Chain A
Amino acid sequence: MTVTINIKDLVKKYADATVIPALSLEIKKGEFFTLLGPSGCGKTTLLRMIAGFNSIEGGTISFNERVINQVEPGKRNIGMVFQNYAIFPHLTVKGNIAFGLENRKIPKEQIAAKVDDILKVVQIEQYKDRMPKNLSGGQQQRVALARAIVIRPDVLLMDEPLSNLDAKLRIDMRNAIKDIQREVGITTVYVTHDQEEAMAVSDRIAVMKSGIIQHLGTPQEIYQRPANVFVATFIGRTNIIEGSLTQEEGRYSLQIGSNYAEPMSNIRVPKPQASLKVQISVRPEEFIMTEDQSGIRATIVHSVFLGQNTHYFVDLELGQRIEITQESKTSQILSPGEVIYLKVKTDKINVYDAAGELNYTGSGQL
């Protein structure tokens, strides 16, 4: 039976240092939920609190309605996949997978059947009797996954399970993990610092920093409408430019530099003022090169040709260096020193308050 995880005002302290101040979160039944953030943001700490390996200094964690703060890890009915797999090196593949079942006093024949079933799901039937040292990283990963889900856990917890694999295998495995999770339908909490991986597997993502959830949403939401400047810079690449918002009769206009202004139709400011300083997040692909001499004046510094796209590093007239991406053309690549004029895609860019904490751009206009 899979569950809803309810986290309320959760606090984690190590001695006097507070790692997680007060975190609340609801993870839905059967959801693939990812905790994403830079190292030291508290994501693994939170996962280990759910697992029961870290103590809880305040607040509650419940599976459905049951508060599990005081329940021992072994009694929480969780399946966990560790960063280094934590495969038992002295047991065969079969022995590893059967280990959790043997704790549950299940008849031998049933254990064998369950092990065979799960081996098929993770596609390593042929390695059943091998010792772990004779398996590749990807195969060990599959054993770890099989071992965690064969016990039919209420919750599947994964701590950076792919970080030890090479780039290509990482992509194969993350697809496999996603497929298997969908097939067994277990509520899954996944920890990673790799934003691309998070986007690829998750139903929803919580972006964390300093023990606080900065943004909780679907992959599309957090990429296109990041809640604050931190999330915008952490997810994908972006340029942060300073500008100002002016308002006239409810209509907003965005000013960048002295010669460029765009009307904005999707701005919502809590306390409207005539003019506001703002931070603007413009992703490299959200710039348009204009043919005429309107827009922001910029000078090409250097370019990188990457096949489908060409990346330009340019200096704005405001003195800032930014990155822009253009679909590659057959004509000559612009050379250093050339002057171009840039506009932004107003429906895609994000406008934040001066502190970078609040997104003025409405998501309704997506």
Chain B
Amino acid sequence: MNDTRKRFDIWTNISLLIFVFYILFLALPLFTMLIKSFYNGTTGDFSLAYFTKFFSKPYYLTALFNSIKVTVCVTALSALIATPLAYLMATVKIKGNSTIRIMILISSMSAPFIGAYSWILLLGRNGVITQFIKNVFGFTMPDIYGFTGILVVLTLQMVPLIFMYVSGALKNVDQSLMEAAESMGYKGFNKMRKVLLPLITPTLLAGGLLVFMRALADFGTPMLIGEGFKTVPVLIFNEFISEVGGDDGFAAAISVIVVLFATVIFLLQKYVSNRKSFTMSALHPIEAKKKSGIGNIMAHVVIYAYTLIALLPQLYVIYTSFLKTNGRIFVDGYSLQSYIDAFSNIGGVIANTFFLAVVSLVVIILLAILIAYVTVRRRNALTNTLDIFTMFPYIVPGSILGIALLITFNDKPLALSGTALIMIISFVIRRLPYTIRSSAAILHQINGGIEEAAISLGASQMRTFFKITLPMMVAGVVSGAILSWVTIITELSTSIILYTGKTKTVTVAIYTEVIRGNYGVAAALSTILTLITVISLLVFLKLSGQKEVSL
């Protein structure tokens, strides 16, 4: 009877609109890509030629194998480094604890390829450290290029993600669980292996998935530091972009393979973590205790050393931005010339970045709030599908989404390629999940009775939403929005596919300047980007009164 009234309220219309948005800008492009991969580019006939080509040539299979190798190693190594670090920070009182946490956060917030290029400057063939060791000790350091380089750069980039995940989980472990374990005779390593590790396993799996997907999708790092070591994203990019010999259809086919692989991993992770998940909330969380003696010193050394290494690339880039340049090489002495060049040649990119990022962020916040609301409060077939759509950006690498958008919206009726709109759409789709997740999380904590109270007092659904629900959601929305914001301004893999002269962003500009060898300008732009990121984070932390950003 009055069920019909409930089913067709304003939220149904909102759900439908968002659904259409996802169909148009996510499902359709991916579908177009899928179709394209099965048709011969010149004759237009159905064919499996692209797939046969991929699986029959060692060149392509090697790239696939390389990608898997990099991804698995980065994920495992990140977890191995991040977990003990998080445990140390949680149990030992470290001087400057909150500053360290913020610094670790910042180290993860730059585009990975900036790390790659900085490590080249430090440890590359002509790197400062390489030269220094050669001159002082007289031997040549092992090569940073190829697999090692990618592994180092990506691992340093990803450790903070798992570190933050695990730190969050450790906060929910009750001290009494540790004490109970001790009372039953488990100490030290055994206690960790038998009690603590199983407790944080679901979190490790979640963080591991995030790292896995990012490492799999990363394109800038292998491009810069990989040299002969080709990974799949590089392959796709070259196939798609290169003027000669490239083939969109083949790029689409490789993309389909990558997305399938990622989906399998994603589902596998969901399956495993569903079986291992449980909820915890600690009445008495584990407290960091002041340690003394050698243990205390070791803990400080490890944490300070890690933080320094993690920040080193960014610090070095900032340092080089103030160096005098002569053409493409750094010379003795300091100057602001790189900044002057940065602003005079490509000042527009900063304006572009801000314009695109702000518009995207506004759209993201709006959509995320609405999506969170309908998926949490109005569960039905439609909103469940929406929920699944919003997870796609986790498994579709940025460059692949970029290609899919481009091949779909290249022609009429929706010729969007080259516009600012297509950039905004890609940012929105890719960076929405952060804000949706945090908004949904806070909505779960808000008792539904509060909304019923407002409605019983005569407020309309919209008034209830704007006057009651939304104000209560703000903190959660903002904490996700800050992540969306930072990841938009450091976005490379989609922008590099979609940008044109008019929509070039700072990240793309840094990348192209690095490729051209204009290290001074690249460094100046990187510094500006880092500055914007750090200021955004600090403003957020200050305003929200929080000590860290939760992922």
Contact = CB atoms under 8 A, between A and B. Distances in A.
A65 to B, nearest CB: 19
A73 B5 contact: no
B451 to A, nearest CB: 8
B449 interface: yes
B452 A55 contact: no
Interface stretch (B74-82, B288-296, B349-357, B458-466): B458-466
Interface in B440-486: 447, 449-450, 452-460, 463, 467-468, 471-472
Contacts of B10: none
A90 interface: yes
A75 B458 contact: yes
Interface string A50-80: 0111011100000000000110111101111
Interface residues of A, number: 33
Given A56-B1, A90-B471, A147 B457 contact: yes
A100 interface: yes
Interface in A32-63: 51-53, 55-57
Contacts of B5: 70, 72
Contacts of A86: 447, 449-450, 452-453
B454 A55 contact: no
A88 B459 contact: no
A350 B23 CA distance: 69
Contacts of A75: 458
A74 B455 contact: yes
B2 A55 contact: yes
A88 B450 contact: yes
Contact of B6 (A55, A74, A84, A147): A55
B1 A89 contact: no
B243 interface: no
Contact of B452 (A53, A70, A103, A104): A53
Interface string B92-116: 0000000000000000000000000
Given A55-B2, A70-B1, A90-B471, A80 B459 contact: no
Given A82-B449, A86-B449, A90-B472, A74 B3 contact: no
A37 B449 CA distance: 22
Given A53-B452, A86-B453, A74 B472 contact: no
Nearest to B450: A86
A151 interface: yes
Nearest to B468: A88
A69 B6 CA distance: 13
Contact of A84 (B449, B458, B467): B449
A103 B1 contact: no
B454 A88 contact: yes
Interface in A100-151: 100, 103-104, 144, 147-148, 151
A99 interface: yes
A73 B449 contact: no
A83 interface: yes
B454 A99 contact: yes
B458 A100 contact: yes
Contacts of B459: 74, 99-100, 103
A90 B474 CA distance: 11
Would you call the interface of chain B mostly helix, strand, loop, or mixed?
A: helix
Contacts of A89: 472
A83 B447 CA distance: 11
Contacts of B468: 88
Contact of A74 (B2, B458, B471): B458
B453 A80 contact: yes
A144 B449 CA distance: 12
Interface in B191-229: none
B1 A100 contact: no
A51 B456 CA distance: 7
Most chain B Cβ neighbours within 10 Å, of A51, A53, A69, A86: A86
A22 to B, nearest CB: 15
B457 A74 contact: yes
Nearest to A68: B2
A104 B463 CA distance: 12
Contact of A103 (B3, B450, B453, B463): B463
Contact of B2 (A56, A88, A157): A56
A151 B449 contact: no
Contacts of A148: 456-457
A69 B2 contact: yes
Most chain A Cβ neighbours within 10 Å, of B3, B467, B472: B467
Nearest to A88: B468
Nearest to B453: A86
Contacts of A151: 457-458
Contacts of B447: 84, 86
Most chain B Cβ neighbours within 10 Å, of A79, A100, A147: A100
Contact of B1 (A69, A72, A83): A69
A321 B450 CA distance: 48
Contacts of B6: 55
B456 A73 contact: yes
A73 B468 CA distance: 17
Nearest to A83: B449
A80 B450 CA distance: 11
A100 B457 contact: yes
B29 to A, nearest CB: 38
B2 A82 contact: no
Given A86-B450, A88-B450, A78 B2 contact: no
A73 B464 CA distance: 13
A103 B472 contact: no
Contacts of A90: 471-472
Most chain A Cβ neighbours within 10 Å, of B452, B457, B458: B457
A81 to B, nearest CB: 9
Nearest to B447: A84
A74 B456 contact: yes
Nearest to A81: B453
A320 B463 CA distance: 61
Contact of A99 (B2, B449, B457, B472): B457
Interface string B1-31: 1110110000000000000000000000000
Nearest to A89: B472
A354 to B, nearest CB: 41
25 contacts: A51-B452, A52-B2, A55-B6, A56-B1, A56-B2, A69-B1, A69-B2, A70-B2, A79-B457, A80-B456, A82-B453, A86-B449, A88-B450, A88-B454, A88-B468, A89-B472, A99-B454, A99-B459, A100-B457, A100-B459, A103-B457, A104-B458, A147-B457, A148-B456, A151-B458
Question: Which 10 A-B residue pairs are closest in the complex by CB-CB distance?
Answer: A100-B457, A86-B453, A103-B458, A86-B449, A80-B456, A82-B449, A86-B450, A74-B458, A90-B471, A55-B3
Given A73-B455, A90-B472, A148-B456, 16 more contacts: A69-B1, A69-B2, A70-B2, A70-B5, A72-B5, A74-B457, A74-B460, A77-B458, A86-B449, A86-B450, A90-B471, A99-B457, A100-B457, A103-B459, A103-B463, A151-B457
Interface of B: 1-3, 5-6, 447, 449-450, 452-460, 463, 467-468, 471-472
